[in-house]
Amino acid sequence: MQKKLIALAVAGLVSAPVFAQSNVTVYGIADVYYGFGKYDDNKFNGIESGGIAGSRLGFKGSEDLGNGLKAVFTLEYSIDLDKNEGVGTSGLRSRQQFAGLQGGFGFIGAGRQYAPGYFYVAKYDTSAIVPLSPYHKFVGANGSNIQAGSASRINNSVNYISPNFGGLTVNAIYGFNEVNQDENRTAGDLAQIGADYSNGPLSVSLIYSQVKQDAGSIGSEKYEPTRIGGTAGLTVADDTKKEWFVGASYDFKVVKVTGMYNSVEDADNNSDTNNVWALGAIVPVSAAGSVRLSYAAADNDRDDSDADGWTVYYFHGLSKRTTLYTGYARISNDDATSHSLLASTAGQGADENASSFVVGVNHTF
């Protein structure tokens, strides 16, 4: 017994400095909902994961290096609550994983990271991004990298976020496609920079994004456009896909209004431009509840198509961590295709309308 006590005491002395220097947090979101969707004669009915935020499990930590400098890391993985998929069953499905340094200069990190578009779009999309957001569906169909989805999670990236200067921050990221090194080392690389100003009731965000390509990479085994989301839409050699985004919101207390505009200049034969804009409102109706409204419209030169959609949501906070929600959305496809709502109703054709209804619960930890 005495030997065991001595061993435990020694182990405690050895491990104490490690725990004193490191700070690791386990966090996540558990979000599940019932959904019903239809277009034309096609219908979907079932339980899905990630209604107002993708379910996830994450680990983040920091170590104080002195003089205001910290080493930081984040490991975050997707989980599907409705089926046997996620960490430990279908492999690690990374949302983000990176290491970096943080201090008076801001933050700099390397790995798989969120682009500015992920954070900025999430601020202004009152329909909570998925699965009912028409804006999210429209910019996704355009191959936009400025969105709050997978296309804004950039592999092989270096990210810099500035300190806050009176409400103004700058966020820049560069993603290396890491292919075609013998012909053009920047083919498929993504660069994105954003500026966000948030002060009191006002928020304004601006983003510029571009993806480069060249003739030698098109159609070759070396070129893997899916490694950086959204680049699969590039079709013409020696061209660049360019994007612009502006978003703004103002909180009047009785209602918070938001607006977004996204423009994608495709790298195709005609350099067509695809535009999406959206307006939204959040109306508090009680201390715990709010109604969320949104409207979005798409105008695409690429295939001379357009579509619009709207949503109405109700959020009710049961606590700081648990939220009940329900919502309805409808998309009208005047000429456009592939603008569905719930994923299982994808594929409707021109002049077909899609609608979806969800009710679910979201818990953060």
Question: What pLDDT, on a 0 to 100 scale, did the predictor assign at position 270?
Answer: 60
Please report the pLDDT score of residue 178 as a whole number: 79
Per-residue confidence (pLDDT) for residue 218, from 0 to 100: 37
* pLDDT tens readout for residues 196-214: 999 999 999 999 999 876 5
**For 292-303, what is each residue's pLDDT tens digit?**
999 999 887 766
Q: Are strands 240-251 and 168-175 parallel, antiparallel or unpaired?
A: unpaired
pLDDT greater than 80 at residue 305 = no
Query: Which pLDDT score, from 0 to 100, does residue 93 have?
Result: 80
State the amino acid at position 244 in one-letter form. W
3 state DSSP class of 78? strand
pLDDT of residue 235: 45
- CB neighbours of residue 71 within 10 Å: 15
Among all chains, which residue has been given the structure tokens 């430990």?
Answer: 88
pLDDT band at 25 (very low <50, low <70, confident <90, very high): very high
pLDDT in tens, 50-69: 889 999 999 999 999 999 99
What pLDDT is stored for residue 65 in this prediction?
A: 96
Write the pLDDT tens digit of every residue in 84-97. Answer: 877 766 666 889 99
Rounded to a whole number, what is the distance in angstroms from the first to the last CA of the chain?
A: 40
pLDDT at residue 338 greater than cutoff 60:
no
- Calculate mean pLDDT across residues 169-173: 98
Q: Hey, how many other C-beta atoms are within 10 angstroms of the C-beta on 145?
A: 29
Distance of alpha carbon 311 from alpha carbon 331, whole angstroms? 9
Count CB neighbours of 5 within 10 A. Answer: 9
pLDDT digits (tens, 9 = 90+) for 130-170: 677 889 888 887 778 898 888 889 999 999 999 999 999 99
Residue 38 to residue 236: CA distance in whole angstroms: 36
- Average pLDDT of 12-16? 44
pLDDT at 9: 45
Which pLDDT value is given to residue 215? 43
Extended strands (E) in 50-103: 56-66, 69-78, 94-103
